[in-house]
Structure 1
Amino acid sequence: MALLNQVSAQVDRACLLLAKLALTGMALTVLLQIWARYGFDYPFSWTEELARYLMIWAGLLGATCAFKRRLDPTVVQVNPEDKGLLHRAIFALTVVIFLAPILYYSFYGPNMTFERGFLWRSSNRLSQGMGINMALVGAIVPLSCAVLLLHLAALLTKHKVPQ
C-alpha cells in the first residue's frame, strides 16, 4: 500500500512538471506567434497548432494533479477519505464509470475493433501545420485516465477501512 502511494506521488510530480512545461511552452509559442505576426508581418503556420496541442496536454495533466490533491470539481460530494466503506465505494464507482468508457474507446471501437479505436484512427492522420502524427496528441487521453486510476487506487488504499 505504501508503494502504491509512493508511485502515485512520483507520477504526480512528473505530471505536474510536464503540465508546467506545457503551459510555459504554450505561452512562449503564443508570444512567438504575436511577435511574428506584428513584428515581421509574417505569422508562422505552426504556432497556433502547437499552442493548442500544448494546451490539451497541460489541461489533462493538470486535471490529474487536481484529482490527486482533491481540488477537482465534483458532482457528487463524497469524501474518499471518509472511513465508511459505502462512501469510498460510491466515490470509486463514479470515477470508474466516467473513465472506463474513455479508456475503452481510446483503444477499441464498435465490436471491440482495434482499428476503429480513437488512437488507431488518430495514428492515420497528420496535423496540417506541423505534420506530426495525431496519435501523439491524442495519447494524453488514455494516459491521463490511467494516471487518474492510479491516483484513485492510491487514495482508496491510503486509509484503512474499519471492519
Structure 2
Amino acid sequence: MKHIDFLFNKIIRFIEIFLVSIFGLLVLDVLWQVFSRYILKTSFSWTEELARFSLIWLSILGAAYLNAKREHLSMDFVYQKLSIKKQKKVSLIIEVLIFLFAAIVMVVGGFNLVYITLKLNQLSGTLQIPLGYIYAIMPFSGLLIMCFSVYHMSKIYTNKLVD
C-alpha cells in the first residue's frame, strides 16, 4: 500500500505543478491582453481564446485535484452527526457515486465529445487548435477522479482515511 500512496502523492504533486503553470499562463495572457488593449491600443484576438481554454483546463483539472485532496465542496452537517460506522458507509456511497459520475459523464461523454470534434475536424476560431485537444481534459480528469475514488474507497474500507 505504501507504493500506491507514493504514486498517489507524486500524481497529486504533478497536478499541482501543472495547475500552477496553467494559472500562470492565464495570468500572463490576461495581463498581455490588458496591456495591448490599453497601452498599445491594439487587441490580439488569440489572447481571449487562450484565456478561455486555460480556464477550461484549470477548472476541470482543478476539480480532479480537489477530489484527490477530498476538498471538494460539501455540506457535512448531517454527516458529522452520524456514528463513525454510518459515516464510513456514507463515505463509501459518496465515493461510488463520484466514481459513477466520472465514468459516465466525464469519461464516456468526454471521449465521445473528443472523438466527434476530432472526426469533424473542428478547429478553434483564432488559434486553429483542434477542439478535441481542448476537450481531452474532460475524459483525462474523469479517469483521474475514478482512480482517486478507488484510492479513497480503499482507504475508507481499511479505516485509514481521515476526513
Deviations 1:92-135 (A, max 9, x none): 2221232122211223xxxxxxxxx2111222210011011111
Q: For residue 157 of structure 1, what is the amino acid of its counterpart? A: S
Structure 1 counterpart SS, 2:154? helix
Structure 1 counterpart SS, 2:128? coil
CA distance in 2, matches of 1:75, 1:94: 16
CA contact (8 A) 1:15 1:64 kept: no
Change (3 A) 1:78 1:63: farther
In the comparison of the two structures, how many residue pairs are matched? 150
Change (3 A) 1:43 1:66: same
1:130 correspondence with 2:127: yes
1:152 correspondence with 2:149: yes
1:104 correspondence with 2:99: no
Give 1:1-20 correspondences, 5 Å limit. Answer: 1-20=1-20
- Give aligned-pair identity as a percent: 25
Deviations 1:17-62 (A, max 9, x none): 1111111100100010111111111110100000111111111222
Q: Displacement, 1:75?
A: 6.3
Q: 152-161 vs 125-134, which deviates more?
A: 152-161
Q: For residue 132 of structure 1, what is the amino acid of its counterpart? A: I
Q: Which runs of 4+ in 1 moved over 6 A?
A: none
Query: Aligned to 2:98, which of 92, 95, 99?
Result: 95
What RMSD, in angstroms, separates the aligned Cα atoms of the two structures?
Answer: 2.1
Give 1:27-46 correspondences, 5 Å limit. Answer: 27-46=27-46
Change (3 A) 1:92 1:78: farther
Q: For residue 109 of structure 2, what is the amino acid of its counterpart? A: Y
Using structure 1 for the length normalisation, give the TM-score: 0.81
Q: Comparing both structures, which one devotes a greater share of its residues to helix?
A: 2
Q: Displacement, 1:145?
A: 0.8
CA distance in 2, matches of 1:157, 1:3: 14
Change (3 A) 1:156 1:34: same
Q: For residue 154 of structure 2, what is the amino acid of its counterpart? A: T
Structure 1 counterpart SS, 2:45? coil
Q: For residue 115 of structure 2, what is the amino acid of its counterpart? A: W
CA contact (8 A) 2:103 2:143 kept: no
Using structure 2 for the length normalisation, give the TM-score: 0.81
CA contact (8 A) 1:19 1:59 kept: no
Unaligned runs of 5+ in 1: 108-116
